[in-house]
Structures are given as C-alpha cells and as structure tokens.
C-alpha cells in the first residue's frame, strides 16, 4: 500500500511511469551501470537513459561505490518547492498585468513589474530622477516605508527631487511616525513640500506620479511578504491619476 502511495505521489510531482519504475527498482537494489538497469528492467535503452538523466537532475539517483543507487526524496521535494515559488512569482506578475489588460496597447509606452523589495527600491529611485515640476504622491506611506527598508530611501528620493528644483504634493491616507517625519514644517519648507492627510480607505497602496511626466509607480503591499510594484508610462493613465488627485485636492480645499 505504501509503495502505491509513493508512486501516486511521484506521479503527481510530475515523474513519468518509466522514471517512477526505475526509482522504485533502484530502491530495492543498486546497479553497476545504466545498461545493467536496462537489462534488469527490460525497458528500451533510450527510455532508461532519458529517465536516468531526469532522475539525476532531480537528485533522486546518484553514483556510489556499488554503482547507481536511489537517493532520498529530498531533491524532488526541493524541486517542488522551487516550482511552487516560481509559479507564485509568475502569478504575481500576471496579476499585475490583469488590471491593465483592457487598456489599448498603444496607450502604454513602458511597463515594468517588480516583485522583490530590491527591484521595487530600484524603481523607486528611478522615479525620483524623472523630470517633472511637481511630484505627486497618494496613499499609505506608513505601509510603504517598510517595503523600502526604512526612511533612508525616502530621504534620498526627496533630495533627488529637490536637486532638479521639483516640488512635492502628497495626500496620505494613513498616519504614523513616517508621515509625521516627512510632514515636519521646517522640512516641508526646505524641500518645497505640501503633505496632507485625508480620510479615505486606501491602505496598503502607494502611488507616485507627477504633474508633467507620464510615469506612474503603483505599489501594492497588502501582503508584506510579497509586495509588488508597476512602473508604467502612459499619458492616458497619468492624466486619469492627475484628474483624480485634483478632485481630492478640491474636495479638501487644501492645495
């Protein structure tokens, strides 16, 4: 019964009938060569050699003093976990694209995704170097700062923006120490910033765009372990985001 269960599990893991048969055979007794395994099993030579290559790649069989023997299932388990991780990363990327699938292709000039904190940080710094008159920020700064690894990247972004004499207008949908730090009166005056907090349900997202450039950086960190980001250039989307931002500002009567 246990043997049948193992074979079923190995089949679910993606091994074919020949690979499972050879692995089970080698569990019982090693062989000196692959040819000996072909003779012992009665299978075609090509099938045996191809199956052995796959089993070796998965670290399910290996060579010893006694010849070729079956190893533990650790290699197969590692392969499954890696495939799961890669599949999740792919799903995250497809999820990012799904929200823009209805937008005409010609309306999007650039589209770049990031699913690691390192790449998100790279995109963030890139946004600080794009030319514009006023940088516009919207959303949950408190949740975004931990994704960047702390306040240092935020300070760097501000300095990069300031070097090109660009202003900043931000609407924060959450409050906390990071927002308070950026909203210090002396710093806002020095770096030409206006930061306000509005009560709206926009937690776990932070959007960066501007008044003149057509780049947007859309960050989603609802799951802190798997944050994601899209850096996109589209006049259509940028105009839409700017219009919404102006509406919020008008409603607040602040800017």
pLDDT band at 101 (very low <50, low <70, confident <90, very high): low
pLDDT band at 254 (very low <50, low <70, confident <90, very high): very low
Tell me: pLDDT of 206 over 50: yes
Q: How far is CA 29 from CA 14, 18, 26, 222, in A?
A: 24, 17, 5, 52
**Range 147-165 average pLDDT:** 95
**Range 241-247 average pLDDT:** 91
| Closest listed residue to residue 36, CA positions, set 27, 208, 25 | 25
**Range 197-204 average pLDDT:** 88
Structure tokens at 233: 């250039």
- 126-146 confidence digits (pLDDT tens): 999 999 999 999 999 999 999
**Range 104-124 average pLDDT:** 89
Q: CA–CA separation, 98 vs 115, rounded Å?
A: 15
**Residue 94's pLDDT is what?**
59
**Residue 92's pLDDT is what?**
60
pLDDT band at 6 (very low <50, low <70, confident <90, very high): confident
Domains defined for the chain, CATH in brackets? 2-72 (1.10.10.10), 93-252 (3.30.870.10)
State the chain's mean pLDDT as an integer.
88
**Residue 247's pLDDT is what?**
86
- 56-92 confidence digits (pLDDT tens): 999 999 998 888 999 999 998 888 888 877 666 666 6
**Residue 82's pLDDT is what?**
81
**Range 207-230 average pLDDT:** 91
**Element (DSSP H or E) covering residue 217:** strand 215-220
pLDDT band at 255 (very low <50, low <70, confident <90, very high): very low
Q: What is the 3-state secondary structure (H, E, C) of 91-145?
A: HHHHHHHHCCCCCCHHHCCEEEEECCHHHHHHHHHHHHCCCCCEEEEEECHHHHH
Tell me: pLDDT of 1 over 50: no
Tell me: pLDDT of 122 over 50: yes
**Residue 102's pLDDT is what?**
65
Percent of the chain at pLDDT exceeding 90: 62
**Residue 89's pLDDT is what?**
63
**Residue 201's pLDDT is what?**
85
**Residue 225's pLDDT is what?**
81
């Amino acid at each position: 019964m246990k043997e049948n269960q193992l074979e079923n599990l190995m089949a679910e893991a993606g091994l074919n009938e020949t690979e499972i048969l050879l692995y089970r055979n080698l569990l019982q007794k090693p062989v000196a060569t692959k040819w000996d395994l072909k003779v012992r099993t009665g299978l075609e030579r090509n099938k045996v050699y191809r199956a052995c290559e796959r089993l070796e790649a998965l670290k399910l069989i290996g060579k010893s003093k006694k010849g070729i023997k079956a190893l533990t299932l650790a290699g197969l388990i590692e392969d499954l976990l890696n495939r799961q991780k890669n599949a999740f990363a792919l799903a995250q990327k497809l999820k990012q694209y799904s929200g823009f699938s209805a937008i005409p292709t010609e309306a999007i000039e650039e589209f770049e995704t990031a699913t690691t904190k390192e790449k998100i940080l790279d995109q963030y710094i890139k946004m600080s170097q794009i030319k514009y008159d006023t940088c516009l920020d919207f959303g949950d700064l408190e949740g975004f700062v931990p994704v960047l690894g702390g306040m240092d990247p935020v300070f760097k972004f501000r300095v990069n923006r300031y070097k090109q004499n660009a202003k900043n207008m931000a609407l924060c949908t959450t409050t906390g120490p990071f927002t308070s730090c950026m909203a210090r009166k002396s710093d806002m005056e020095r770096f030409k910033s206006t930061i306000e907090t509005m009560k709206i349900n926009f937690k776990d997202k932070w959007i960066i765009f501007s008044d003149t450039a057509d780049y947007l950086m859309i960050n989603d960190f609802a799951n802190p372990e798997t944050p994601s980001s899209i850096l996109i250039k589209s006049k259509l989307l940028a105009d839409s985001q700017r219009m919404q931002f102006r509406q919020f500002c008008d409603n607040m009567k602040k800017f």
